[in-house]
Amino acid sequence: MIVVPAFDIQTWQDGPCTVVRAEGELDMVVAPRLTAEIDRILESSEHPCLVLDLTRVPFCDSVGLGVLVGALSGTRDVQGRLILVVDSGMISRLLAITSLDRHFETRSSLHEAVEDVAA
């Protein structure tokens, strides 16, 4: 019996930001769900502030990475702001290896991200 870990997405408003918390492995199977949620948020706001909390994502494949790049591009297209919340794990290393850490705004905690926007 193969057990597939669940992937969960929670979305809520925190001040001027919409927070999206992903939990589970971000791979080609679940990537369309996260893309759909991000697209929904970007379409519903003029200049959205999107905080994407990835601290509970232990794995991200190339398709998942493509979702993050697409979110950055989509946010920029609507003159919004995207902040990734990442810890020192796999996502941070993936961003560094691909040099995408130069393009993404990152914070180490959700609190830090929301406080930074409010300041």
CATH number of domain containing 88: 3.30.750.24
Total-model pTM = 0.91
Domain membership flag for residue 2: no
111 domain residue, yes or no: yes
Range of the domain at 52: 8-118
Q: Evaluate if residue 25 carries a pLDDT over 80.
A: yes
Task: Give percent helix, percent strand, percent coil of the chain, each to the nearest 5.
Answer: 40, 25, 30
Q: How far apart are CA 49 and CA 76, in angstroms?
A: 10
pLDDT-based confidence at 30, cuts 50/70/90? very high
119 has a pLDDT exceeding 80: no
Number of domains composing the chain? 1
Structural contact between residues 32 and 39, judged by C-beta atoms closer than 8 angstroms: no
**39 and 28 in contact (C-beta within 8 Å)?**
no
Average pLDDT for residues 59-87, to the nearest whole number?
A: 96
